[in-house]
């Protein structure tokens, strides 16, 4: 590789449930830009499964565009947003540093230096791919604002729900329950030291309920679990799925509220004092907690990604966040 001739390889979705690796030429970094060699990317099953199946709803296609996406939905499209790598060229203060970037699955790339966030030395590079999920959880907790001694339930313990639980376990709560219909989630709750219950066994009269199951049944159960005048923070992504909500039972009688939380904007409670970069830096700092290793699955080597993505897109395969490993990365998980 010479600095004026850089070839990169990227993963593209080229048809329904079809992917391939494509080569492209990169322009050498200019003023204020950096060249990054990727170590790991994370496969975000919730959104990337929709992309892989060519099922991104047309009405939200613009909202689902990743920062460095190429192509357009349904395909061909280069997609992804959980990348950790090493700066090989660019500003002196970034040279050799491990960084996180919202970039697709690609082995090298050139971006503006201000789009990179340095990964703390105490955070293994493989674990840092979880920054996107933890950032989403941070935003949800800014929205939910749990207080000391609160009783809290998180309904749906996938990647995002699990990240919310991992952060909530640091709060001085009187009760915290991980609620999921899949008993296989007990491994995650055990790793986090949190009580796992099925929906039927969950305790009611909660001060805060956070919904992450993306099911109508889960949302209905949230209405039963939250206490009078309580609020449900809705984090689920439903895609094109129609959702029926039983507003004729608990909702009006107990003056309940349902409020959306999503990561596109900083939560209103912090919007005037925090930027999205501040939020991402906080998420990376929080990933110093080794309990987050329980979220990681894999790795799959990058060159095997086209053959492996069918299994990765299937529910339950590859851990909550499957890690893609690139040439030159350390053994997984990187220490």
Domains of the chain by range and CATH? 6-132+274-325 (3.90.180.10), 146-260 (3.40.50.720)
Q: With the C-alpha atoms ordered 69, 85, 264, 135, is the resulting torsion angle positive or negative?
A: positive
Mean pLDDT, to the nearest integer, of 270-295?
96
37 closest CA partner among 123, 92, 116: 116
What is the torsion angle, in degrees rounded to the nearest 10, for the CA atoms of residue 136, residue 212, residue 146 and residue 196?
-120
Looking at residue 238, its pLDDT comes to 78
Is the pLDDT assigned to residue 197 strictly greater than 90? yes
279: pLDDT strictly greater than 70: yes
Above 50 in pLDDT, residue 291?
Answer: yes
The structure tokens 């201000």 sit at: 114
Cα separation, 116 vs 136, in Å, equals 18
**Residue of 320 and 176 predicted with greater confidence:** 176
Give the burial string for 140-177 (b: 16+ CB within 10 Å, else e): bbbbbebeeebbbbbbbbbbbbbbbbbbbbeeebeebb
- Residue pLDDT, tens place only, 30-69: 999 999 999 999 998 778 888 998 988 888 888 788 999 9
Residue 14 is predicted with a pLDDT of 96
Beta strand pairing call for 206-211 and 195-197: unpaired
State yes or no: pLDDT of 183 exceeds 70. yes
Strand partners, 71: 77
Residues above pLDDT 90, as percent of the chain: 80
Min mean pLDDT across 44-48, 300-304, 324-328 is at 44-48
pLDDT for 140-165, tens place per residue? 999 999 999 999 999 999 999 999 99
Task: Please say if the pLDDT value at position 172 is more than 80.
Answer: yes
Confidence (pLDDT) at 333: 59
Contacts of 225 (CB under 8 A, 6+ apart): 153, 155, 179, 202, 203, 204, 206, 209
Burial status of residue 74 (CB atoms within 10 A of its CB: 0-12, 13-18, 19 or more)? middle
**40 or 263, greater pLDDT:** 40
**Start-end of H helices in 7-68:** 45-52
> Residue 222, exposed/middle/buried by CB under 10 A (0-12, 13-18, 19+)?
buried
| Phi, psi for 161 (deg, rounded to 5) | -60, -40
What is the model's pLDDT at position 119? 98
pLDDT of residue 315: 58
- The verdict on whether omega for the bond into residue 76 sits within 30 degrees of 0, i.e. cis, is yes
Output the pLDDT for position 334.
45
Summarised one tens digit per residue, pLDDT across range 221-261 is 999 999 999 999 999 987 667 888 889 878 999 999 999 99
Give one word for 84, left, alpha or beta, with left for phi > 0 and alpha for psi -120 to 50: beta
Tell me, what's the pLDDT at 58?
83
Q: Check residue 264 and give its pLDDT.
A: 86
Asked if 104 and 78 touch (Cβ cutoff 8 Å), the reply is: yes
């Amino acid at each position: 590789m010479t600095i004026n001739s850089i070839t990169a390889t990227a993963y593209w979705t080229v048809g329904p449930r079809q992917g391939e690796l494509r080569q492209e030429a990169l322009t050498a970094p200019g003023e204020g830009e950096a060249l990054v060699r990727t170590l790991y990317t994370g496969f975000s099953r919730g959104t990337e499964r929709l992309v892989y199946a060519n099922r991104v709803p047309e009405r939200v296609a613009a909202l689902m565009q990743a920062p460095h996406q190429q192509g357009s939905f349904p395909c061909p499209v280069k997609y992804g947003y959980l990348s950790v790598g090493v700066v090989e060229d660019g500003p002196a203060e970034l040279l050799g540093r491990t960084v996180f970037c919202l970039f697709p699955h690609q082995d090298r790339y050139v971006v503006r230096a201000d789009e990179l966030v340095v990964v703390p030395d105490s955070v293994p590079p493989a674990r840092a791919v979880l920054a996107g999920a933890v950032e989403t959880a941070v935003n949800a907790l800014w929205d939910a604002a749990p207080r000391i001694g609160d009783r809290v339930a998180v309904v749906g313990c996938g990647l995002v729900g699990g990240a919310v639980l991992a952060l909530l376990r640091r709060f001085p709560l009187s009760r915290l329950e991980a609620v999921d219909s899949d008993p296989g989630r007990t491994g995650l709750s055990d790793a986090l030291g949190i009580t796992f219950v099925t929906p039927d066994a969950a305790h009611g009269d909660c001060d805060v309920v956070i919904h992450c199951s993306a099911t109508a049944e889960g949302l209905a159960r949230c209405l039963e679990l939250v206490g009078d005048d309580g609020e449900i923070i809705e984090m689920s992504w439903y895609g094109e799925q129609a959702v029926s909500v039983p507003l004729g039972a608990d909702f009006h009688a107990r003056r309940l509220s349902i409020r959306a939380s999503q990561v596109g904007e900083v939560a209103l409670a912090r919007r005037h004092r925090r930027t999205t970069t501040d939020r991402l830096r906080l998420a990376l700092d929080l990933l110093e907690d080794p309990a987050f290793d329980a979220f990681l699955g894999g790795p799959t080597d990058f060159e095997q990604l086209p053959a492996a993505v069918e299994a990765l897109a299937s529910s339950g395969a590859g851990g909550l966040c499957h890690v893609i490993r690139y040439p030159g990365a350390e053994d997984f998980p990187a220490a």
